[in-house]
Amino acid sequence: MCQGPVIGTAMQTLESVPGELPPCWVMGQRYVRVLTEVGAVPWLIPLLPGDEATLRAIYDRLDGVFLTGGVDVDPAAYGEERHSHCERTDPARDWTELHLIRWALADHKPVFGVCRGIQAINVACGGSLYQDVGEQFPHAIKHNYFPTSANPARNYLAHPVRVSSGSRVGRLLGVEQIEVNSMHHQGIKRLAPGLAATAFAPDGLVEAVETTDDRFLIGVQWHPEEMAEAHDPMRRLFSAFVEAARGFRR
């Protein structure tokens, strides 16, 4: 019987297809497989906006919170009007994840976020986002290397990131520069209080954050789950997170 720490991950809404499919919740398998490979027990969390009692009951059984990639964070969550380039959002997921992050921060429960996850962390802590990096961020490089039928690779190394050597992210990766994949069109605009930016793309866009105290909270803008099998530095991000959750459980 697995005795690993329990890691909660909110799912995402899949809208109904009339006559074919009712509304569903979904989650990419790769996230879950990487967590289990490093010793975690995954718990996929349903989206029940407004039902805080049920969400809290789930949260209280978790040892860590993992935040995955997905659709855009709704600009209403950080007090902005929707930009014309903002894409599909999932307010039920926003509600769920923002509650989980804020509770975890208050309890010093470990948190790890990737892609949309770093954005949700920043918003939960009081920051804001570029609703479209290409339109709103000066001198932006290309960040949206989303897979296509012609180029389906999710582990394509799109650009380097510069990592702060004294940071937790820097110590885990063990390098001051590393190549990453890139599948996003939003990014951190105003960094939230209490967070430190610890990795940057060549254009200066924030690519990693962590807390300024000793709590385990890390967000990265790339998708390390797609590279964890072949790249030890990416796997160490997950291993360290699960180890921190194991320590919290103890």
CA distance 109 to 220: 18
11-50 pLDDT, tens per residue? 999 988 888 889 999 999 999 999 999 999 999 999 999 9
The SS3 call for residue 181 is: coil
Instruction: Please count the CA atoms within 13 angstroms of the CA of 193 that sit on its side-chain side.
Output: 1
56-89 pLDDT, tens per residue? 999 999 999 999 999 999 999 999 999 999 999 9
- CA distances (Å), origin 14, targets 17, 31, 46, 73: 9, 17, 12, 15
The reply to whether CATH 3.40.50.880 applies to domain 6-11+24-81+88-249 is yes
pTM > 0.75: yes or no? yes
Per-domain boundaries in the chain: 6-11+24-81+88-249
Catalytic residue among 86, 115, 184, 226: 115
Catalytic residue among 143, 159, 185, 223: 223
Whole-number pLDDT of residue 195: 98
Q: Is the pLDDT of residue 237 over 90?
A: yes
What single-letter DSSP state applies at residue 38?
Answer: T
Indicate the pLDDT class of residue 1, thresholds 50, 70 and 90.
low
Active site residue 115: yes
Whole-number pLDDT of residue 2: 62
Active site residue 2: no
**Mean pLDDT in residue range 136-156:** 89
> Within its chain, how far is the Cα of 125 from the centroid?
14
Q: Is the pLDDT of residue 147 over 90?
A: no
Catalytic residue among 225, 226, 231, 243: 225
Q: Write down the number of H helices and E strands in the chain.
A: 7, 13
172-229 pLDDT, tens per residue? 999 999 999 999 999 999 999 999 999 999 999 999 999 999 999 999 999 999 999 9
Active site residue 226: no
Whole-number pLDDT of residue 180: 97
